[in-house]
Chains A and B, each alone.
Chain A
Amino acid sequence: MSDITRDDVAHLARLARLAVTDDELDTFSRQIDAIVDTVSAVGDIPDDIPPTAQVVPRTNVLRPDTTEPSLPRETALAGAPAAEEGRFRVPRILGEEL
């Protein structure tokens, strides 16, 4: 059994920046426990099998280091929830507790 508890889900939600409700904690802990239990079937696989993270046999695809046009500032800011003086405006980031 995977034994994912309500507290575990609360911890995962915090890590993932999801302000889940109490009701959701009940539902999600039950569902995630069942899902993790099922997917744990991969545990049977021997350790000496090499991993495959992706299937395209290439690495480090680089483009020439040349200047190209980028998005105009107003276009980049057009979808922003808040903008000010040509920049993204964000809530306070200092003094917060993690």
Chain B
Amino acid sequence: MSEASAATGGQSELISLDAGELARRIHAREVSSVEVTRAHLERIEAVDGPGGVHAFLHVDAEGALAAAEAVDRAVAEGGPVSPLAGVPVAVKDNMTTTDMPTTCASAILDGWRPPYDATVVARLRAAGLIPLGKTNLDEFAMGSSTENSAFGTTRNPWDLARIPGGSGGGSSAAVAAGEAPLALGSDTGGSIRQPGAVTGTVGVKPTYGTVSRYGLVAFSSSLDQIGPCARSVLDAALLHEVIGGHDPRDQTSVDGPLPPVVEAALAGARGDLAGVRVGIVTQFSGEGYQPGVLAAFTDAVRVLGELGADVVEVSCPSFSYALPAYYLIAPSEASSNLARFDAMRYGLRVGDDGSQSTDEVMSQTREKGFGAEVKRRIMIGTHALSAGSYDALYGKALKARTLIVRDFTAAFETCDVLVSPTTPTTAFPIGERTDDPLAMYLADLCTIPSNLAGNAALSVPCGLAADDQLPVGMQIMAPALADDRAYRVAAAYETARASASDAGPRIPELRALEGSR
């Protein structure tokens, strides 16, 4: 297998299979977890190096193979194994891992080894999934392109000159490129869904509080939510059920049953949406939206109608406040959360030469350790929370949040789910928006409302834009704790699309780096 896959850029058949199918074959002993893990490690070796995708900041081949061997032993002994046991997974590098560094793509945490595992990582391990490594992101998850990483930009597997979205560009790109069948992301304003859309993969932001954030390095605590990245809706649901559920270590953790997302994905795949009321959010179209994106989205909505859904238009006028409110609330919370990086207990320390005070060392360390976007947001948050601005900025942003919640509540009285394009454009060229933070922020226009309201939302691929042949995502939003509705609709759409003649490749053409560059 090694020789064959080396000749084809690590293109073993195993890297293109769904996680569910990989698990089935591993558990039936048709293939070993070690073989599956090795195939993905070879793929990473082939496409992730300099000039390549650069989805990973750290790969733990030894640890992954050891974990795979343990699963293979358990399978051989005939003991019960969990549904995804033996399947490799990539983890966004803002979730703590005891056996790998956790950097948040920031110089301030370069090389840091956390003393504990995030709950989601512990659950992956307990379920027998195989952590391959840690994926790239915008520093502290602040960005929409991974260009804010201190360790280099991740490139979109569909076009290496373009961004893979962000902040979780590494996780989505790894899944898109066949480097991992599954990955974990974190979504504060769209950081799972927007990279999913522009890499042609599935990305889910679960209902706020339904997946533990213990061990997720906090960015904006009232918005942050961990969720799954995958190449199919069912795979996302399978991973969702591994990581979800109550955790006493997270005070915001919802103490109740997880929505039945796997069941919903299986039901949806039967392709019947009769009686499902789908609302198109009218605010998410028009100026600033790429024609190819709108055309692909409109076609996807037509398919939902063909599957029996009742499609209507709904207006959510307060969504126009979502972007301004988000870029006040998230920086405000970030300015507080990132105060923990004080150069005293862990991470970088600069200027401690015996002559300088703690205060000076702290300021110099944060200056050296944080990138420009992180500094900008800390200062905007500091401004929004200062005595003279609090009422006019932070206070008003919280009122905007109320209006957005009310718009959702009203819309969900007449609709089961809401739909929109996930992001206004396809993947833009690397470098295009780096000097213009406001232009960058527009990438999150459609995804932010669900974070502010704390409800469930996902992005499912809906083909390529006719104008640039790059992936487009459809966002499906559902009420809080009704994640299963979004999964059902997404799975029905996915099944219909898979049988369409223009379904296209699920893993883009990506040649091995050796010899091609």
Complex Cα distance A43/B325, Å?
10
Residues of B within 8 A of A32 (CB): 376, 379-380, 383
B372 CB to nearest chain A CB (Å) = 8
Interface residues as binary, B394-421 with A (CB distance below 8 Å gives 1, 0 otherwise): 0111111111010000000000000000
Complex Cα distance A35/B378, Å?
13
A71's closest neighbor in chain B, by CB?
B115
Interface of A is mostly: loop
Q: Considering the complex, which residues of chain A in the window 1-33 have a beta carbon less than 8 Å from any beta carbon of chain B?
A: 4, 8-9, 12-21, 24, 27-28, 31-32
Stretch from B150-158, B247-255, B307-315 forming part of the interface with A: B247-255
B352's closest neighbor in chain A, by CB?
A91
Complex Cα distance A98/B453, Å?
40
The number of chain B residues with a CB under 8 A from chain A is: 70
Which listed residue, B342, B356, B393, touches A39 by the CB 8 Å rule? B393
Given contacts A18-B363, A20-B375, contact A12 B356 (CB under 8 A): no
Q: Considering the complex, which residues of chain B in the window 363-377 have a beta carbon less than 8 Å from any beta carbon of chain A?
A: 363-364, 366-367, 370, 372, 375-376
Residues of B within 8 A of A56 (CB): 208-209, 252, 254, 454
Complex Cα distance A4/B382, Å?
13
* Residue pair A45, B400 in contact (C-beta under 8 Å): yes
Interface residues as binary, B314-334 with A (CB distance below 8 Å gives 1, 0 otherwise): 000000110111011000000
Residues of B within 8 A of A43 (CB): 392, 396
* Residue pair B396, A79 in contact (C-beta under 8 Å): no
Stretch from B290-298, B343-351, B508-516 forming part of the interface with A: B343-351
Interface residues as binary, B335-364 with A (CB distance below 8 Å gives 1, 0 otherwise): 100000011111111001010111111111
B208's closest neighbor in chain A, by CB?
A55
Interface of B is mostly: helix
* Residue pair A15, B347 in contact (C-beta under 8 Å): no
Complex Cα distance A43/B372, Å?
27
Residues of A within 8 A of B289 (CB): none
Is B437 engaged at the interface, CB distance under 8 Å to the other chain? Answer: yes
Residues of A within 8 A of B362 (CB): 17
Which listed residue, B343, B357, B366, touches A93 by the CB 8 Å rule? B357
Which listed residue, A47, A81, A98, touches B343 by the CB 8 Å rule? A81
Residues of A within 8 A of B452 (CB): 55
Is B113 engaged at the interface, CB distance under 8 Å to the other chain? Answer: yes
* Residue pair B364, A51 in contact (C-beta under 8 Å): no
* Residue pair B364, A19 in contact (C-beta under 8 Å): yes
Q: Considering the complex, which residues of chain A in the window 73-98 have a beta carbon less than 8 Å from any beta carbon of chain B?
A: 75-76, 78-82, 88, 90-93, 95-96, 98
Residues of B within 8 A of A39 (CB): 323-325, 327-328, 380, 384, 393, 397
Which listed residue, A9, A12, A35, A81, touches B348 by the CB 8 Å rule? A81
Given contacts A40-B392, A54-B222, A96-B359, contact A28 B376 (CB under 8 A): yes
Residues of B within 8 A of A24 (CB): 372, 375
* Residue pair A81, B222 in contact (C-beta under 8 Å): no
B410 CB to nearest chain A CB (Å) = 15
A48's closest neighbor in chain B, by CB?
B399
B364's closest neighbor in chain A, by CB?
A19
Which listed residue, A15, A27, A51, touches B395 by the CB 8 Å rule? A51
Complex Cα distance A14/B324, Å?
25
Residues of A within 8 A of B208 (CB): 55-56
Complex Cα distance A20/B347, Å?
19
Complex Cα distance A91/B353, Å?
9
Which listed residue, B328, B344, B364, touches A81 by the CB 8 Å rule? B344
Complex Cα distance A42/B453, Å?
16
Complex Cα distance A72/B115, Å?
10
* Residue pair B349, A55 in contact (C-beta under 8 Å): no
Complex Cα distance A40/B400, Å?
11
Complex Cα distance A96/B114, Å?
32
Complex Cα distance A17/B375, Å?
10
* Residue pair B453, A55 in contact (C-beta under 8 Å): yes
Complex Cα distance A8/B254, Å?
41
* Residue pair A53, B222 in contact (C-beta under 8 Å): yes
Given contacts A24-B375, A49-B403, contact A38 B113 (CB under 8 A): no
Which listed residue, B335, B358, B366, touches A92 by the CB 8 Å rule? B358
* Residue pair B328, A42 in contact (C-beta under 8 Å): yes
B398's closest neighbor in chain A, by CB?
A51
Complex Cα distance A56/B212, Å?
13
Which residues of B does A touch, CB under 8 Å?
112-116, 208-209, 222, 248, 251-252, 254, 320-321, 323-325, 327-328, 335, 342-349, 352, 354, 356-364, 366-367, 370, 372, 375-376, 378-380, 382-384, 386, 392-393, 395-403, 405, 437-438, 452-454, 480
5 contacts between A and B (CB under 8 A): A15-B386, A42-B399, A51-B395, A61-B252, A63-B248
A-B complex: 8 closest residue pairs judged by Cβ atoms = A55-B454, A51-B398, A81-B349, A79-B346, A96-B357, A42-B396, A19-B367, A19-B363
